[in-house]
Structure 1
Amino acid sequence: METFMSAILSDLASRSISFLINKYCSKPTGSNIEERLQRLLLRVQIIVEEAEDRLITNQAMLLQLNILRKEMYRGYYTLDKFRCHGNEEDNSKDHQVSYSFAPCKLNPAKRVRCCQVSGQSLQEQQQKVFSSLEAIIEDMSEFIIFLNNCPRLCRQPYSVHLLLDKCLFSRQMEMEHIMNFLLKEYTSGAEIPGVLPIIGPGKVGKTTLIEHACDDERVRNHFSRIVCFCENDLKDENMVSLRDCGVTKHQNRSTGGERILIIIELTRDIDECTLNRLLSASKRCVANGSKIIITSRSDKIACFGTTQALRLKFFTQEAYWYFFKVRTFGSIDAEEHPKMASIAMDMAREMNACFMCSSIYSVLLKANFNPQFWNAALKRIREFKKMNTLLYGAYFDGPWGSVESSYVRRVNENPSECFVVLYDYQTFSAENDAGVPILSVQDFLFGSVRPQGKFKVLGWKSHLPPHYNYMFSCEVQKLVHNKLSLERRDL
């Protein structure tokens, strides 16, 4: 009997312990998952912002920070998607645009279902993100200890939305890759000069990244001269001596040496003979420790590198949404405007992580903070994508990376005509050329402008070096293409 009672008590004790473990160690479910995920994201954001304010040179720490940053973006994207879910069906009713070429991508209500991973619901996705964030925070204890030993950057305090307008977003690891290459001291037997290829699609930020590196005081003190070459300069016969060609971006005679930093920016493929000619010329006339950075959209330049090529990619959808939301809402709390947050999330999806679109529309949306304008902007983006996809096929990504002209919108007074972007370019000044008026992008996209023939539109002014003004060369054209016949009424 005594043995029997002992067994019963032992069984009850084990059951009680199991119950307590399951109760207190189980994953959060139900209504508290959103609140707990938000608190966890706040902890992650504190670590990320503190790390971004420090000079981190350890590559392993940068890699760990990059992983944490991506998880933070994924967490905020999942949380906002859950919050906006209730408003997306209303958005889809407001914007009934037929997209026969991609039905599941462009209907917001369908997109929510398409975002499900392996049949997971939004709540299950939240649970998965929560568990992932918990695990990665547990691994950050050593990172935080080492972070305290990293020197703090000299930076004026900003709000987050102002900070994103003043610094590179989520490029800390790439920036340090360039700085390590540029500041690495020459060692006997090393190739002269060192060559770093930077490869990436158009408008991904290659020039901006290099400009930030060249503006760093350590780089300016390290090189006596920084010279930039474009494709036209490479055809110059003077190039063989690296004299009287290219653009000198910086000159410092107090370095006590003749180290030169040469930047070659290529927008098209260039024959190997021309590039080899420049590299041979640089070996003959530059001092030890000189460096070359080559940028291109093509992988062909990778073979010219003396170090591993740096490849830039557009942001993931989660990172892009974080960037677009912060820049668009600014100091306004997006949670207080769920309807507008839902519209903004739809717009971010339609933009395909395009920096140009983000820069243009975030300015317009902040200046017109009302749901009517935001709905009109979303409708305009969808119509633009449909019109150009009908012309060029489902592979059309956007006007800024395309070699073809882009049909933006129909002329209000004459629907048989359309405003067309022929090409885009950048300048250092928004001055009028030959008296041709420059329209604002808001009038071009939403206004009742009546230009004829060819004209120019000022897209946006960059707040970051090299402080370009991005311009569009446009024209009013007749819609004569078969796929855009006037019998179509679904635009």
Structure 2
Amino acid sequence: MGSLLMPLLGSVAAKAGDALVAELLRAWGLAKSRWKLERHLAAVQCILLDAEARSHTNLGVRQWIKDLKSAAYQADDVIDDFFYEALRRRAAKIRHPYMACKVLSYFTVNSPVVFRFHMSWKLKDALETIDELVVEMNNFCFQQHAEAPSVVHPQTHSRVDESDIVGRQDDKEQVVKILLDHNSSNNNNVMVLPIVGMGGIGKTTLAQLVHNDRRVNHHFELVLWVCVSDKFVVEEIIRSIIEVATMKKCDLTQMEAMQKKLSEVLGNKRYLLVLDDVWNEDSQKWDDLRSLLCPDDDGSAHAGPGNAIVVTSRNNQVASIMGTVPPHQISLLNVDQSWELFCRIAFGREVEQQE
């Protein structure tokens, strides 16, 4: 049961730390409550493995985990409400009365004051429940781990149904043009193009569209996709590149053997490598990876001219460390695109046909 809770707690913590949610809670004087929620969630994650083990023989611990799960879902619902309110406010700022009215009717009550009071009360109630659980947690004297068990993030992939995507055509064209212009220059330097934007805005989707673009696949001899996520381990990334390029499992463990295999796989081919969901801010780790992927100054390395790496990240610091060209800041959807996306998610494609 505890292992099932870990992704839930991690998800709630990530939502609470979202920039849109944080901005709204700060404006409403609830920043301290958000900070307290994040601290509590971090503390709980550090003891969850021990709690899970003890729940098999201790009925009190088993009930505590059950109550924790309910409290986590309660907090998740509250944070979701804040997120939707933040989106409504952003839509209203566009100053499109029709759109603002539509979104308002779905996400809030008519009185902003009433909504604010109601949501503040819900957050306070959720926090009080978690406060009580933390007190009980301390009474159980669970064994703490040096750091919270890592949450397994879903692995992204390159497959995408373009007919399901709304409003990313212009972004795709801009990125494709940058990549093809670099190729036509016969440049031996590897270009690193970061795609940057807040969580959920569509960075991975844009990278998928670029990865599958016919023109891109015509110009590059190898088009590779690697999901990096929060663990930037050079050996694992190199192994993933080899496996994707060869479609065979790589059992090599020695770095020397892996770099030779990488050189063999890439050869003199022109490649595009997508590194999706990068969080690493350690420039040394990137330098170590770059030295294996990028040609030497004299152009004598394994890779051919015009190679490119696309990096997706929500962190501007990552873009600063890795990018060799200005990052592509992914754009927000316009009013009509936002409404179309909302209708598709909420009602399916049928509502578009009715309108």
TM-score between the two structures when normalised by the length of structure 1 = 0.32
With CA pairs under 8 Å and 6+ residues apart, which has the higher RCO, 1 or 2?
Answer: 2
More helix by share: 2
TM-score between the two structures when normalised by the length of structure 2 = 0.43
More strand by share: 1
